[in-house]
């Protein structure tokens, strides 16, 4: 977008959480869901009062093995990349929704279908022995992997529909995270059941490290992968994730009130609203 007198105009972006996961919205303080509980006029006032912050964006390059004359597939990533059980659930969900779109009419149904596919994978373990099929490098250094089923690369604080993945249960010290530090957080999971335990704060992920560049080599067989909730089945390949640019986002702080009157405040206590989300640690602001 260009304006007269400006070489480049970068719009400030806010998120209204109408979908199922809403992890980026949660990270930016706008909450995990919106069903009209806050008047539209108040939402617009919150947007006008919001703070401008920077957020890293990433380039995901997928070079398929043996296809040397074909250009690598290039994707943009804002939230996260993963290979393993959560990507498998997303892929199964996507294929089911493509076949019967009318069935997926609400958040409750969507979450129920995810739960069913997660339960199935707990029994089948389609992604087991990932450590034998994949190599991981963080900033050029090879990482020794234990017996994992999944690897998740995060740019934002929330994952999996409201889970603070890097922090886990919060009972162990871990390096702080920021949206604008040019670093990705990389964790391992031991299966669908482990993912479920992390989501309800009964387990910690395996923290593999933070890095400016992440490289994964899938040596054999197809594996489910996803970028920002968009899944696909991928054969042997090399995946390289590097910094692309920064976006300007709007952050809704807890100090902002959604309404001054007592009735609305009581209603908001019963139904979590965007200002319930904690501010990401060390989040830097960007002035217009």
Q: Binning pLDDT at 50, 70 and 90, where does residue 213 land?
A: very high
pLDDT of residue 254: 64
pLDDT at 124: 59
**φ and ψ of 273, to 5 deg:** -120, 175
Question: What does the pLDDT look like over 215-237, one tens digit per residue?
Answer: 999 998 899 999 998 999 999 99
Domain boundaries, the chain: 12-54+248-276, 56-246
Predicted confidence (pLDDT) at residue 258 exceeds the cutoff of 70: no
The pLDDT tens digits for 81-130 are: 999 998 998 887 766 667 777 665 666 666 666 566 556 555 556 788 89
Using DSSP, state whether 52 is helix, strand or coil: strand
Phi/psi of residue 28, each to 5°?
Answer: -90, 10
What pLDDT does residue 109 have?
66
Q: Which residue has the higher pLDDT, 254 or 118?
A: 254
Token representation of residue 245: 């640019």
pTM above 0.85, yes or no: no
d(CA 37, CA 34): 7
- CA–centroid distance for 92 within its chain: 18
> How many CB atoms neighbour CB 43 within 10 A?
17
* CATH architecture assigned to 56-246: Sandwich (2.60)
Tens of pLDDT along 160-196?
888 899 988 878 888 888 999 999 999 999 988 888 8
Q: What is the pLDDT of residues 128-151, one digit of tens each?
A: 889 999 999 999 999 999 999 999
Spatial separation of the C-alpha atoms in residues 106 and 200, rounded to whole Å: 22
pLDDT band (50, 70, 90) for residue 201: confident
Q: Which 3 state secondary structure label does DSSP give 208?
A: strand
Residue 84 CB partners (closer than 8 Å, separation 6+): 127, 130, 148, 149, 150, 151, 152, 189, 223, 224
pLDDT computed for residue 127 by the predictor: 82
Average pLDDT over residues 7-18: 83
Half-sphere exposure of 73 (CA within 13 A, CB side): 13
- In this prediction, residues 243-253 reach a mean pLDDT of 95
């Amino acid at each position: 977008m260009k304006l007269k007198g400006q070489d480049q105009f970068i719009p400030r972006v806010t998120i209204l959480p109408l979908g199922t996961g809403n992890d980026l919205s949660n990270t930016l303080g706008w909450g995990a869901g919106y069903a009209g509980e806050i008047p539209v006029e108040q939402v617009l006032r919150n947007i006008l009062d919001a703070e401008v912050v920077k957020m890293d964006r990433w380039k995901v390059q997928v070079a398929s093995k043996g296809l040397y004359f074909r250009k690598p597939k290039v994707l943009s990533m804002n939230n996260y990349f993963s290979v393993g059980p959560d990507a498998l659930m997303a892929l199964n969900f996507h294929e089911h929704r493509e076949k019967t779109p009318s069935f997926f009419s609400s958040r409750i149904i969507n979450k129920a279908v995810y739960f069913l596919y997660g339960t199935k994978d707990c029994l089948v373990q389609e992604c087991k022995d990932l450590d034998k099929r994949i190599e991981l490098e963080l900033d050029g250094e090879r990482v020794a992997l234990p017996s994992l089923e999944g690897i998740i690369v995060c740019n934002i604080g929330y994952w999996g529909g409201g889970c603070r993945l890097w922090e886990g249960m919060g009972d162990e010290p871990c390096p702080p995270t920021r949206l604008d530090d040019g670093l990705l957080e990389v964790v391992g999971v031991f299966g669908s059941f482990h993912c479920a335990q992390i989501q309800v704060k009964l387990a910690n992920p395996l923290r593999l490290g933070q890095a400016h560049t992440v490289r994964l080599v899938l040596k054999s067989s197809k594996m489910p992968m996803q970028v920002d909730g968009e899944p696909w089945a991928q054969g042997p390949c090399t995946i390289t994730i590097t910094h692309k640019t920064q976006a300007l986002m709007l952050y809704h702080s807890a100090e902002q009130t959604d309404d001054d009157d007592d009735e609305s405040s009581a209603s908001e206590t019963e139904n979590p609203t965007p200002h319930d989300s904690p501010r990401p640690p060390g989040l830097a602001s960007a002035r217009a």
